[in-house]
Amino acid sequence: MIGFFKKLFGGGEDRDPAAVAVAKTKSESVAPRAGGEIAGQNDGATRHVIIGAGPAGVSGAETIRKADPSASVTLIGGEPEPPYSRMAIPYVLTGLIGEEGTYLRKDDDHYDSAAITYIQSRVESIDAAARSVQLSGGDSANYDKLLIATGASPVAPPIDGLNQPGVHHCWTLDDARKIVSLADEGANVVLMGAGFIGCIILEALAERKVNLTVVEAEDRMVPRMMNETAGNMLKQWCENKGVSVLTSTRVTKLEAGAGDQDTITVDLDNGAQIPAHLVVVATGVASNIGFTESAGLKTGTGIVVDNEMRSSDPNVFAAGDCAEGPDFSTGGWQVHAIQPTAVDHGRIAGLNMVGQAAKYKGSLNMNVLDTLGLISASFGNWEGVTDGESAEVVDAENFRYMRLEFDGDKLIGALSLGRTDHVGAIRGLIQSDQGLGVWKDRLMADPHRFMEAYVARSQM
Ligand SMILES: Cc1cc2nc3c(=O)[nH]c(=O)nc-3n(C[C@H](O)[C@H](O)[C@H](O)COP(=O)(O)OP(=O)(O)OC[C@H]3O[C@@H](n4cnc5c(N)ncnc54)[C@H](O)[C@@H]3O)c2cc1C
């Protein structure tokens, strides 16, 4: 699995858990001073404050530092650990890496030596008129330019019993510790939700050899990433590997369980009950934007930004899972909650914050999963457009599937199952935004020929 991600994202530190797996160090944080402006902000340099120390925030902070060596850069992170990558949490669950392997930067003094002031604290509110952010504990940080990179948080359905012991999200390192302590070999585990994040957790839980049941309310697995054909092929694959997958099924309640081990009983809407030692809730996420209300920024599902990652306030930028940014495929605005988008957003925001104009082309909706050895991928506008055309090849027996979506003679989206050799080519064809000419008909006749089409297009 690690090798697969390396191939997919290249060797970038942000994107490759293998690259961070050898990290051994912790970074120090600077405690805010009581009741005043934080240290290092009064020396006359342009003050850049970044809220959120995930991939988007770290990318933004480092971009600013590089582009303006004289600026003051303050990075505020709300979790107790040094800045880390959630994307690496599954590898902590499987034991492939330790917690330190998730840290985004390896060196103990990385932030100090980059002259980035790292503060562990939560921002409670923003005073846009005074250009200041209020931290928990009463301190404040003044800014000339502000980047909001606060990510997202998991959301749970409105059912009873979610607060009992043994029920956890899988979003933070703290969640990971709790899951590791309960997900022993043979333990009965229920995973609520088979979306993109749910399927990543599924893979890690299966590697821990638990007795796993997945409950998904929609009619297929990864319903926002795969159509019915591909989602149900994935379900069949998981069932063949010994994972029980219940689609079109809802959890209605969690009750105290009767067993010594199985302390939870999961009630389903079909009347069935499943005993569980651990329930993992992966039923979606929402952008962390509530605390920005005082700033009066334009928001939708996230903070709405233009193609410079600038919000409706010219001094405030947003990036990553909390930002509703330009969508390459639709030309509209979307929250694309994946790490490569967060890193790109952070970089574009950082450049514009120091006055180096950089335009964002828009994020391509792209998700790739390795589920118990079956690779599935969706790209761009995989649901197609009105008056568009599509071509598909289904080989259910061998778990291979390919579907291409066209608008005129442009490739705009794709779905695939069972192929690992194509990610760059399909992404390239979609992002080139160029007509395929004679290759459109060839791909309609055989969608698997996309690599030849890519090579042909590259030579034009
Ligand atoms: C288990 C798991 C697996 C994943 N796997 C993949 C994958 O394979 N590929 C992929 O592309 N993506 C994956 N993701 C999604 C990816 O992790 C996110 O898209 C990415 O972390 C977004 O980065 P971000 O910087 O926007 O937000 P985050 O990484 O969420 O960082 C935001 C930071 O802001 C902090 N913060 C929030 N509010 C405040 C506040 N008020 N004050 C101060 N700090 C605050 C948070 O504590 C956090 O540290 C996965 C996520 C999970 C949970």
Number of domains in the chain: 3
Residues 44 and 141 in one domain: yes
pLDDT at 277: 97
For the CA of 204, the nearest atom of ligand 1: 1
Q: What's the rounded Cα separation, in Å, for the pair 355 and 321?
A: 23
Q: If you ran DSSP here, which 8-state letter would residue 451 be given?
A: H
Instruction: Kindly tell me if the per-residue pLDDT of 452 is higher than 90.
Output: yes
- Closest ligand 1 atom, residue 154 Cα: 53
Q: Confirm whether 398 is domain-assigned.
A: yes
User: Which range marks the domain in which residue 87 is found?
Assistant: 2-152+286-353
With respect to residue 366, please indicate whether it lies within any of the assigned structural domains.
no
Distance between CA 157 and CA 343 in Å, rounded?
Answer: 30
Strands 132-135, 123-127: pairing is: antiparallel
Rounded distance from Cα 351 to ligand 1 centre (Å): 21
Say yes or no: 131 and 48 in one domain.
Answer: yes
249 and 307: one domain?
no
Question: How far apart, in whole angstroms, are the C-alpha atoms of residue 278 and residue 262?
Answer: 8
Give the model confidence (pLDDT) of 152-180 as tens digits: 999 999 999 999 999 999 999 999 999 99
- Tell me the per-residue pLDDT of 59-81, one tens digit each, with 9 for 90 and over: 999 999 999 999 999 999 999 99
Residues 299, 278 share a domain: no
Q: What share of the chain is helix, strand, coil (3-state, %, to 5)?
A: 30, 30, 45
Q: Assess whether 293 and 278 both reside in one domain.
A: no
* Residues 153/285, Cβ–Cβ less than 8 Å: yes
The answer to which of 37-46, 255-264, 355-364 has the lowest mean pLDDT is 37-46
Instruction: Supply the pLDDT for residue 424.
Output: 82
Q: Classify strands 278-281 and 47-51 as parallel, antiparallel or unpaired.
A: unpaired
Distance, CA of 210 to CA of 206 (rounded, Å): 6
High-pLDDT (> 90) share of the chain, % = 83
Q: What count of other Cβ atoms lies within 10 Å of the Cβ of residue 434?
A: 12
Does residue 145 share a domain with residue 218?
Answer: no
Hey, what are 411's tokens?
């490739």
CATH number, domain with residue 92: 3.50.50.60
Does residue 256 lie within any of the structural domains?
yes
Residue 422 has pLDDT above 80, yes or no: no
- The predicted model gives 200-223 an average pLDDT of 98
Residue 460 confidence (pLDDT) above 90: no
Please tell me the predicted confidence (pLDDT) of residue 412.
Answer: 96
- pLDDT tens per residue across span 354-385: 999 999 999 988 999 999 999 999 999 999 99
Nearest CA owner, ligand 1 atom 47? 78
Query: Which residue among 87, 92, 343, 369 has the greatest number of ligand 1 atoms within 8 angstroms of its CB, and so is best to mutate?
Result: 87
Report the nearest atom of ligand 1 relative to the CA of 121.
43
Of all atoms in ligand 1, which is nearest to the CA of residue 171? 53
pLDDT band at 4 (very low <50, low <70, confident <90, very high): very low
- The CA 256 to ligand 1 mean position distance, Å, reads 31
Residue 264 to residues 164, 211, 250, Cα–Cα distance (Å):
8, 14, 16
Ligand 1 binding site (Cβ under 6 Å of any ligand atom):
51-57, 76-79, 86-87, 89-90, 122-123, 149-152, 170-171, 197, 200-201, 288, 291, 320-321, 337-340, 342
